[in-house]
Amino acid sequence: MRRTPEAARKTALLAATALLLTACGGGDPAEDGTTTLTINVFGDNFSLPDNRTLYDEYERLNPGVRIVENRGDYSTHHQNLQARLTAGSGAADIELIEVGQIAGFTGQPDEFVDFTAEGVDTAQWTPAVLQRASTPDGQTLIGLPTDVGGLAVCYRTDLFEQAGLPTDRDAVSALWPTWRDYVDTGQRFLASAPDGVKWFDTGGHVFLGVLGNESETFYDAAGELIVERNPAVRAAWDLTVSAIREGQSAALAEFSPEWNTGFQQGQFATVTCPAWMMGYIQGNAPETRGTWDIATIPGGSGNWGGSYVTVPAGGENVEAAVRLATWLTAPEQAVTIFRELGNFPSQRSTWTRPEVADYAPEFFNGAPAGRIFPASLENAPVQVTGPQSGVIGNAFSDALNSVEQGADPEAAWRQVMSDIESAAGTG
């Protein structure tokens, strides 16, 4: 789902040792009979606004269970999980793994509970979503899907109006049938934009958006690393670099304080917008309510995001953790998370429910979010991921940020290729 640039740099270079934190296991029931379940997450996943959480509801329904969440940044969270599995202790009762990282753990099936063996109903998810968290033979499922990203473009109607562009979402969507058209529209915007306002927030988001409609990006179906020889990756890089050189980027590294300020002060007019981005915008720039709307993504389809709930097999509360993991990923909870946080449900059965399909948040001018995001997923290709897909995506974002800061694009390309080879163990 979400990434932090500094941690991404550390992960991309794959430091020889990861920080092994204090053990987080739940342990035996307390003297009063309470069972404490720990869950390690990154970003905003199950915690809802106003201090209300799904955990509260689960504890109410299951007296004697106490849930403790530990939240870390994207890269350190996944590094620590691997370190704990290698050490044989210290993992939480439940560990969240992002879609770009899950392939790096499916080769360790003995370290996780097999949800297929636990009899979990997997019919609610598509085979493609389940495949990413399954062993190559499809016999072992180490994770239950939480959300999918989908893709759209969130845009500032007030800034569009000031620049003389249309503000109606259908008219806006028509501006960019392709990503090339999106960049060309950026030039039109800059010609009459308010002083200091850029077209988009950061080049890394454009790059990942362009690749969101490709089936093979960093790995091929055989699991081979194809970054350098994949023309789709180079084309996405070149298009993003051209937009940066034309002055369209606000050059704000994602999840940095400056990025948050950019949302709050209207420093850019558009952002590549997976569903979870809605919650991020609302949480970080609540005063911009009503100035945002949502248009379709260039190309019409794509995906960016998603996570899996896993239960480490060495935990002391495995049965209780499996029950909690199954409940957290049930359709009812997925709908609640979507409406409260914006994370779009991975369960296709929820997409036609009125509470999802008719969801039109006032914050985004009543945009039909419950229809826009599933529409972007309908024709999106099944994307191939590999053990370091998340790390590679972060490396590209960092490299493009360096171009935004003045680095030579070709030198940045060569450096990111070197970093990726080192991270993937091929250099």
Sorted by sequence, the CB contacts under 8 Å of residue 405 that are 6+ apart come out as 251
pLDDT value at position 31? 63
Q: Read off the pLDDT band of 44 (50, 70, 90).
A: low
Extended beta strands in 77-202, E state: 94-98, 144-148, 152-156, 198-200
**322 alpha carbon, distance to own chain's centre:** 24
Q: What number is the average pLDDT over the span 115-125?
A: 92
Beta-ladder partners of 308: 97, 145
In this structure, which amino acid lies at residue 130? Answer: L
Position 304 scores a pLDDT of 87
Give the Cα separation of 212 and 149 in Å (integer): 10
CA atoms lying within 13 Å on the CB side of residue 157: 18
Strand extents, DSSP E, 290-387: 292-296, 306-310, 344-345
Please state the domain extents for the chain: 5-148+305-365, 152-304+382-423
At the topology level, CATH places domain 5-148+305-365 in D-Maltodextrin-Binding Protein; domain 2 (3.40.190)
| Distance of alpha carbon 142 from alpha carbon 7, whole angstroms | 25
Q: Give the span between the Cα atoms of 370 and 38, in whole angstroms.
A: 32
Report which of residues 166 and 420 the model is more confident about.
Answer: 166
Phi, psi angles (nearest 5°) of residue 422: -65, -45
Matching fold, domains 5-148+305-365 and 152-304+382-423: yes
Assigned token pair, 57: 């509801």
Q: Find out whether 260 and 4 touch, Cβ atoms under 8 Å.
A: no
pLDDT at 427 over 50: no
CATH topology of domain 152-304+382-423: D-Maltodextrin-Binding Protein; domain 2 (3.40.190)
For residue 4, the model assigns a pLDDT of: 39
Say if CB 356 and CB 333 are below 8 A apart.
no
Q: Which residue has the higher pLDDT, 71 or 312?
A: 312
> If residue 318 lies in a helix (H) or strand (E), which one and from where to where?
helix 318-328
Rounded CA separation 199/177 (Å)? 17
> What average pLDDT score do residues 11-21 get?
28
- At 328-383, the pLDDT tens digits run 999 999 999 999 888 999 998 899 999 999 999 999 999 999 999 999 998 888 88
